Amino acid sequence: MNAPQFPTSRRGLLIGSAAAAGLSVAPAFVRAQNARRALKVSVGRIPWAAGNSPMSQYMINNKLMEKRAAEFGYDLTIDWREYPTALPMVEAMVGNNLDIGMWGNTPITRGISSGLPISLLCVGEGHLRFLITTRKGSPIRNLQDLRGKTVGVSLGGDPQSALFQMLMFELGVQDIKDTGIKFVNMPTHAQAASVPTGVDATCTIYPAYLAAQASGTVAVANSFGFTEEHYDGPAGKGAGHMLASVKKSPFFPDGYYLHRSFWIGRNGLIDQHPQVVVAFLMAQQEAVAALTAMDAGGVSQLVKDYWKLDAAQGAKVVKDDVLFSRGWSWPTENDARAVLETSKFMAGNKVIDKPLQWSQIKDAFSRSAPLIRQAYDRLGAKPGNSEFTRTDVADLRGRPVWEMDKWSDRS
């Protein structure tokens, strides 16, 4: 019997040993490389609202967050949830049953004021057009005509805050009770836009209003400070006239109301899985950049099942939104200021006990600011510093959140 053959040189011994080791080690190495941490997160959106709707739909269609999370070693499953307004999202997050959600200034202010363990992430939509609407043929032709009437609005949400700001500046009152208006809650934007029996007028959002025009809903004025087609009053007749009182607003040129909705993160998720939050931030900005480059009408058709608008009407909503006029979603000083000013207004109307301190709003960014910067840096293509601080635009901006140590002292 012949003896078994072994390598006779040192080089041969090394090659043979390496090959043998490779046969046993390589599969384990490949398995380790392919192993990912399975995680399920829940994300709430409001597809009937404005910019967050096509943006999040694009994320869903292209699995952007899942792809970015994979870069950090996660096998991510996302439970996308649809909500009519932010309020049920707040309840879900209070119950530890929602990881990320999209809220407006008003519920954010309530959440911070009550100590809810949440952090602000990035701008979800902004510069949304809120409208005073009524029925065709209504004698309500301007805001003064609303005195003593019944007005429907989503109480506790941004439509209420926008409406109250419009009334206080245009009617010249410090206390909303001095208007004599009775306010009735509208559970959905579509219901408000229908101007149902029992109310004389409503305040609703632009997508819902455009969809309701065919059924006889008309608009009087908007939160940007301009008249709509049913207006007849001191500013003139018809649409497109600036209301003089809007220039008294501290939010001008944004309008009567500095509307910014933010994506909100549950602190537990941020603390336990910070890189998943970075993945969300990167995916969100990728979607904003992609949609900004598209035709506005085409963007709106991503969510035509929700908005019920054709491309021409849908383009109006897309063009209004600060996300697509900027092309980026990174939060700035004036975006954060929207929450501060809303809290002052809410405290003045005894909705909350006292306004928020600027330090409280900065604290709401303390966990997320480093992650936002990380997402910004990882994406590479980004706006420069001068873009953040531009003043020749229709929206208020400022230094980005990772430079909040340089923000103005608003205490």
User: Can you tell me the distance from the alpha carbon of 223 to that of 256, in angstroms, rounded to the nearest whole number?
Assistant: 6
Model confidence pLDDT, tens digit, residues 299-343: 999 999 999 999 999 999 999 999 999 999 999 999 999 999 889
Task: Identify the H or E element spanning 166.
Answer: helix 158-171
Q: What is the mean pLDDT of the chain?
A: 90
| Exposure string for 48-87, b = 16+ CB within 10 A, e = fewer | bbbbbbbbbbbbbeeebbbebbeebebebebeebebbbbb
User: Can you tell me the distance from the alpha carbon of 177 to that of 184, in angstroms, rounded to the nearest whole number?
Assistant: 14
pLDDT band at 69 (very low <50, low <70, confident <90, very high): very high
Q: Tell me which residue of 298, 181, 300, 167 sits closest to 243, measured CA to CA.
A: 167
pLDDT band at 382 (very low <50, low <70, confident <90, very high): confident
Model confidence pLDDT, tens digit, residues 102-140: 998 889 999 999 999 999 999 999 998 999 999 999 999
pLDDT band at 410 (very low <50, low <70, confident <90, very high): confident
pLDDT band at 3 (very low <50, low <70, confident <90, very high): very low
Model confidence pLDDT, tens digit, residues 345-362: 788 877 889 999 999 999
Domain with CATH 3.40.190.10 in the chain: 37-127+259-406, 130-248
Say how many Å lie between the first and final Cα of the chain, rounded.
93
**Token code pair at residue 24:** 């046993």
pLDDT of res. 174:
87
Q: Which residue has the higher pLDDT, 153 or 33?
A: 153
pLDDT of res. 268:
97
Per-range mean pLDDT, top range of 16-30, 55-69, 158-172: 55-69
Residue 13 pLDDT greater than 50, yes or no: no
Model confidence pLDDT, tens digit, residues 202-255: 999 999 999 999 999 999 999 999 999 999 999 999 999 999 999 999 888 889
Whether residue 253 is preceded by a cis peptide bond, meaning omega within 30 degrees of 0, is: yes
Model confidence pLDDT, tens digit, residues 253-299: 889 998 899 999 999 999 999 999 999 999 999 999 999 999 999 99
Over residues 53-67, mean pLDDT:
98
Q: Which CATH architecture has domain 130-248?
A: 3-Layer(aba) Sandwich (3.40)
Q: What are phi and psi of 81, to 5 degrees?
A: -120, 140
Considering the domain 37-127+259-406 in this protein, what is its CATH number? 3.40.190.10
Over residues 63-79, mean pLDDT:
98
User: Can you tell me the distance from the alpha carbon of 148 to that of 194, in angstroms, rounded to the nearest whole number?
Assistant: 21
Residue 1 pLDDT greater than 70, yes or no: no
Q: Tell me which residue of 129, 313, 148 sits closest to 204, measured CA to CA.
A: 129
User: Can you tell me the distance from the alpha carbon of 254 to that of 239, in angstroms, rounded to the nearest whole number?
Assistant: 18
Residue 34 pLDDT greater than 60, yes or no: no
pLDDT of res. 4:
39
Residue 9 pLDDT greater than 70, yes or no: no
Query: Is 222 in a helix, a strand, or coil?
Result: strand
CB-based burial of residue 198 (10 Å sphere; 0-12 exposed, 13-18 middle, 19+ buried)?
A: exposed
pLDDT band at 26 (very low <50, low <70, confident <90, very high): very low
Model confidence pLDDT, tens digit, residues 386-406: 999 999 988 889 999 999 999
Residue 158 pLDDT greater than 70, yes or no: yes
pLDDT band at 5 (very low <50, low <70, confident <90, very high): very low
